[in-house]
Structure 1
Amino acid sequence: MQTSLAKSVTFNGVGLHSGAPVRMRLHPADADHGIVFRRIDVIGMQNRVHATWDRVTPSKLCTLIENEDGVTVSTIEHITAALAGCGVHNALIEIDGPEVPIMDGSSAPFVAGIRRSGIRFLRAPLRAIRILKPVEFKDGVATARLEPADGFEIDFAIDFTDAAIGQQSKRLEMANGAFVRELMECRTFCRQADVDHMQAHGLALGGTYENAIVFDGDKVLSPGGLRRPDEAVRHKMLDALGDLSLAGAPILGRYVGNRAGHAMTNRLLRALFAQPDAFEYVTLDADQERLLPGAGVCRPVALAG
């Protein structure tokens, strides 16, 4: 069955790149609504932006979506990952600015709020996208691929020259709350040189050592160090889940990323939907629903309707 939130939940923070205060409120929504942002600060034009793959516009540093009137919402990947990881398929997200609050740089604060809300099952079947044959997008040595699998899996590898990051890889079957156990608290990361460059160009103005892991060669500059020894690759997996959720339905398949990022994952989805014989929509039964990332994560309430 499709789900939504049981009640509204609010988050207050700052935008990672703008540094501006932002208030974001998640509301329950009906079946087949999907995940939709509404910019309540925008007047006189269409202020709703659907969180779907075809609304993504190029951005090097985050996932940014845009509607027909040019209204945008950026840095959406951590909240979309939290919704997917908690099994929430429909929500209206009101936000009073152009950027989702960064919180602590992970999805954990969003997951905590969603779990406090609980989820409501809706009287509508849940469809998923089953991958039928491999689809791949390459950019130099970087690759992103979707291939057939019974459930949903993420297999990711990264390779950085900074000794504190280096080569990391991890593979997870995402059923049985794996997102909450393994990925949700893993924070976004960057190198000190990147921070200096971004801030010199008016970006990362809301970034601190508390809402991102900052590496400098063999050093971790953020207080308290790492939450996991391989926190960097785990955060890449978190981002991948958030970006793949823009497919508009859960995916039954394996995502394999090697040095991939937001733009590559979106290009992969575009390649997938350009090949109708590479996937099919299937209506899930209860056993199949248990293979998805959010199964059993949130407290359920009575059926809606």
Structure 2
Amino acid sequence: MAFQQTLKNKVAFSGIGLHSGKEITLTLRPADAGTGIVFHRIDTTPPVSIEARTENVVSTRLSTTIGKNGAAVSTIEHLMAALFSCGIDNAHVDINGPEVPIMDGSAAPFVEGIKNAGSKSLSKSRKYLVVKKPVTIRNGDKRITVLPSRYYRISFDMHFDHPAISRQFRTMKFDRESFADDFSPARTFGFLAEIEALMAHGLALGASLENAVGIDDNGIVNPEGLRFTDEFVRHKILDSIGDFALAGVHLVGHVKACKSGHELNHKFITELLSRSDCWSLMELTPPENKTASFPISLPEMAWLEAC
């Protein structure tokens, strides 16, 4: 975990865009250390490259959208969560449309594809943003706080005035295996009563029960039911991991979120990055013949050096 990683091989994904309804193909390619995750709109003339960073977020309406030089890519959060959870710090994403395909509504297909492509370590050390002081952002009854912690942990408290969801709470200490098994399969969800209005505004044009959990007045519409009894809050954690990955570094802190979504997630990361007095940017530099692990053990804390 001390060194940055990239893909070992290319991997491609194809599917419908949840909001655009367009058939889209994207290809992940290896990238050099320090590149980060960069999306390339190869269908534009000339092609436009957009770094997956907080400063390039142009919309958070129902998904996270990044844009630059007149081009944009939306619904990036599931792919970003998959890349982060698989330890991929650097990758080129060639995409021939305005939206990442929704696949089955979760991050699991991306996780599986990235794992099959493999990863390789690079010679540059990975950076960690280690929280030293609490940071909180609020919008009405929505709130996100991050506290100092030896781990990257997310706790999420969600509330919906619907009996199929009601109130759900879950906390997770991040690790790759736990995310892949317990969170990446959690699907996006929506209320059928809102679909017509969304479609009238050019949204949810590709939505179906094959790529989302549908909810009506009586409950879950999908004939197969839920993948988890608390699938909704698990998906909110998945979205948060993808949105927080736009910080471009690995967080070490306990994020506590209540009723947050893409908009507040973006505002939170923007606020956190601006509060340099509340964190230290670190990198693991293990002594010769030793391997750094994560979460950071007490002996390894001595290896942390400020960048």
Give the TM interval when normalised to the shorter protein. Answer: over 0.9
2:33 aligned partner:
31
Residue 291 (structure 2) pairs with residue 290 (structure 1): no
Deviation by residue 1:145-188 (Cα, 9 ceiling, x = unmatched): 22111010010011111100110000010125221121000000
Secondary structure of the equivalent of 1:227?
A: coil
Aligned-residue Cα RMSD (Å) equals 1.4
Query: Deviation of residue 195 (structure 1)?
Result: 1.6
Query: Residues 176 and 290 of structure 1 are in contact (CA less than 8 Å); yes or no, is this contact kept in structure 2?
Result: no
1:297 aligned partner:
none
Secondary structure of the equivalent of 1:178?
A: helix
Compute the TM-score of the two structures, normalised by the length of structure 1.
0.92
Q: 1:58-137 maps to which residues of 2 (within 5 A)?
A: 58-67=59-68, 69-137=69-137
Query: Residues 25 and 96 of structure 2 are in contact (CA less than 8 Å); yes or no, is this contact kept in structure 1?
Result: yes
Distance 1:230 1:21, change over 3 A: same
2:206 aligned partner:
206
2:264 aligned partner:
264
Amino acid across the alignment from 1:34: G
Distance 1:159 1:249, change over 3 A: same
Amino acid across the alignment from 1:58: S
Distance 1:62 1:12, change over 3 A: same
Distance 2:292 2:155 in 1: 20
Deviation by residue 1:106-135 (Cα, 9 ceiling, x = unmatched): 000000100101101111111111111111
Distance 1:121 1:5 in 2: 9
- Which structure 2 residue ranges, 5 or more long, are not aligned? 297-307
2:302 aligned partner:
none
Among all aligned residue pairs of Structure 1 and Structure 2, give the percentage whose two residues are the same amino acid.
38
Distance 1:228 1:117 in 2: 27
Distance 1:288 1:242 in 2: 24
Q: 1:136-175 maps to which residues of 2 (within 5 A)?
A: 136-175=136-175
Distance 1:120 1:104 in 2: 27
Distance 1:283 1:23 in 2: 35
Secondary structure of the equivalent of 2:81?
A: helix
1:57 aligned partner:
58
Secondary structure of the equivalent of 1:181?
A: helix
Query: Residues 13 and 103 of structure 1 are in contact (CA less than 8 Å); yes or no, is this contact kept in structure 2?
Result: yes
Secondary structure of the equivalent of 1:124?
A: strand
Residue 7 (structure 2) pairs with residue 5 (structure 1): yes
> Of 45, 51, 56, which aligns to 1:43?
45
Query: Residues 102 and 211 of structure 1 are in contact (CA less than 8 Å); yes or no, is this contact kept in structure 2?
Result: yes
Distance 2:161 2:10 in 1: 43
Query: Residues 174 and 291 of structure 1 are in contact (CA less than 8 Å); yes or no, is this contact kept in structure 2?
Result: no
Query: Deviation of residue 190 (structure 1)?
Result: 1.0
Distance 1:289 1:238 in 2: 23
Deviation by residue 1:14-54 (Cα, 9 ceiling, x = unmatched): 1100100000000000100000000000113x600000011
